[in-house]
Structure 1
Amino acid sequence: MTRSSPHSPPPAAVAAFLRGLDRRARLLALVQCGDTAAATRALDATARVFATEAGQRPIAQWPQQYWRLLLTAPTMRQADTPAAGPLPGITRLPPPVRAAVLLHLVAALEDADAAAALGIDTDAYQLRIRDALPRDVLGQPDLDVWRAWRAAAQRALEALPEAAPADAPRTPGPQADATADAARHRRRMRWLWLGVALCAVALVASFFLHPRGRELLDQWRNHVQVAPLPPAAAPKARFDPVDPALHPDRELLAEPGTVQLARQLPLLAWLAAEAPDTLPAPPLAPAFADTASAVPAAPSPAASLSERMRAWDRLSPQQRAQQRGALAEWQALPADEQALLRRLAARFAALPPAEQQALRERYASLSFDAHRGWHLGPRLGRDWPRIGALFAYVEPGEREALLRLLRAASAEELDTLARLAQITPPEARAALRRELLAQLPAQRSAWLRARLQQ
């Protein structure tokens, strides 16, 4: 028996596939090349090669094959690119790291598919993502920078105009004549209306230039009544820029110990769930009965608060945003998890510096997605790798409601959500989340089991 040739897909299917990822491909090529002409050449060459090779692979592998072909173009691997364009923060990265970040944020590929498109394994791809991010004061990847990159990529995709169809048919001769006549008619009408407008302006000007017109205008102006205002009352208070009560971040500055705990939240959550036995036992049990005793109280004198205000104002906007975000994550935790992490912080501080650094290095070696989960606390952080696919990217208005739902979910409900995360395609996840939020708490378990059977 002779081996049959691979089935060639219809051209319409290939064209529809290319149209579906046109915006993402154009943005990725522009940021990776740094030049519009070079990006256009790379996209055209990739489209031609992909159309000839599409029949050799199943449709499910088309995205991986397309991005692999695009990234192998010579202009996509240049050594340097100026920090300009729609995504300047990503453009400054080296080309290999830049390509890895763009495959995640612009092409929306999973880690395995992105690694295959780059010709590397998944661990090496995740290492490139971690290397792309700057480090915070604790030596961890800065998640605020990652969120800013993701938001900028989404805005750039939305602002990118639709590409004009390359195969638009030419207009026949008679139709072109009719179009030209219509254009000439529109130009004549514009000139006609312009003449009418000029005549109206001249008529109005002649009215105001005439003595009678100026007299009427003066009479209209004289109808304005002028009356003196009453004397101003003395102000009840004056703004004092050094008054701590008027500082916008006074609550954060009043609790420096809580802020320090909040900045260590993901590390402490990981220790509570994965490495509790590595920490020493508390020296005295009563010392941990009061959760506030694990962290020193903030100094009470006003002078100390004023010094913290001046130090806070010297921070960059990005550093202040990081601390505000960390405190918000801490305040969103349940009270029992806050108490647990306070106790763990005291035990962690009792370790020798070498052991503390070893635990930090173990935490830093985790995957990027695992780091994101531990920001939600020890309970959700442990289950996040299983359910993260459903809840990693949600609408801002749904975030608080979904967090409350997940914190109140039972172990059985989390297991069901983990199984749904494996079988739900990406395009159906938003609808599933909306239906999940619409269920009453008493009916949620039954609804999840029924949804799993569909």
Structure 2
Amino acid sequence: MIGLSNPGFRMAPNPPSEAPPAALAAFLRGCERRGAVFAALQCGDAERGDVALAAALRAFRAHAAELPMAAWPARFWSLLVAAPPLRAESPVAHRAPAMQALAGIAAPDRAALLLRLAGGLQEDEAAGVLGLSTDDYRAALTRACPRDATGRPDAEAWRRLAEAVQVHLRDLPPERLARLARLREDALAGTRVPPAATAPSPRTAVPVSTPRRWPWVVLVLALMAAALAATWWPGAPWADLLQPAPTPVSETVTLTDPDILQEPLPPAEPPAARFDAEEAARTDRDAPMRMDPEAATLVPQADFLAWYIVQRAATAAAEVAPEPSPPPAQADEDAEAPTAQAVVVPDPPRPWEALTRQRADYAAWQALEEADRARLRAAARDLAMQPADAQQALRTRFGALDAMEHRGWRLGPVLGAVWPRLQPLFAYVPAREREPLLALLRQLDATALDDLAALAQRTPPQERDRFRHALIRVPAGQRTAWLHARRER
């Protein structure tokens, strides 16, 4: 068996590349211990498992930059599970006595079990890694569950096996941890197994005899020249044969031939309508947006109005009169006039880009609660009463914000105010989780949102999916206390 310590399996570094990001190094550091234990228990051989782990680390490092961080755990475990050394039991498999039950489990079912016990994945996460539905994954767990003498699931044996795996995870020896650290550093450095070099086999030069073909070439060229010259010989008997035959008069046709009837084509008919205007309006996906009078006036500035509500609440109720500005200084006649700066006008959005933005704005508007929409309408009326220069100053301040903050203000004034702090946890979530999470956020009060924002800032990237899943499972009436308890840890 070839191992990492085998002299014939040395790792050769690739050409120097840029340093890996700190997030990638932290993620691999958090996965290497569980990945090593999973691989060793899956095939029964720690050395063979390290080969699979090293390959998975290198493959993940090559593709991590193309993925959002939320997808990193699933990709890493998918690569590790698919590693060829883990597809079958090692010929020299050896496990601790407390984990010998793993040897009698089929490899696919054993992988399903170890993703839970060693990998620490939830059911839906492990099912996604294996490409199974949740029901199929649970069936695999049922098949992998230890059985008693009567063939029924043995809960006590399951508990002992789970505890043995956790103890094994916790008590890895220092030399084992050092070896895993070397695997991680090699993967981050881009090392790989060099291809075997094959020496070119010497070849014996064989003389090749070349026949003399030039006399035949000269003969063919001479015959071709003679044939070409014969075509230009005046008075030759074959000259008449080369002249084109005249066309008979009876076969000529002119445009004035009385046997041909000429008349103009009729005008083109309009194309038949496939459906009427009523059917077109009924099947138009944007019909509700086009018929909504607020879609063209209020919806495009809903994010600005949400920001305006918060800014207005943060300022004093009474508007402070501006201090008189000092008189403008007299310009020095000898001073050089400032050079006019060129104004860069952004290109207008393309039609499809504008329509995409309109759809996104309208969808965000429809997702707001009616109370939030009422607040935005009132803010629009209040803003219209402000002086034009004050309105322009506010819009300029809002336009200077980051695009991430603009997207947050689409959620309304309450969530928009805390979105910069919530963004690390909720900016990139699967599509199926967006509506439940948005409904959950709207149910939280200000205290719970503050606790959640603090937790979002300190939750590492590899734990964000797990945190969101745990948050969704907490009953609505207990979420405030749960968030506060998590923050106080």
TM-score by length of 2: 0.39
TM-score by length of 1: 0.42
Larger radius of gyration: 2
Q: Which structure is higher in RCO with an 8 Å CA cutoff and minimum separation 6?
A: 2
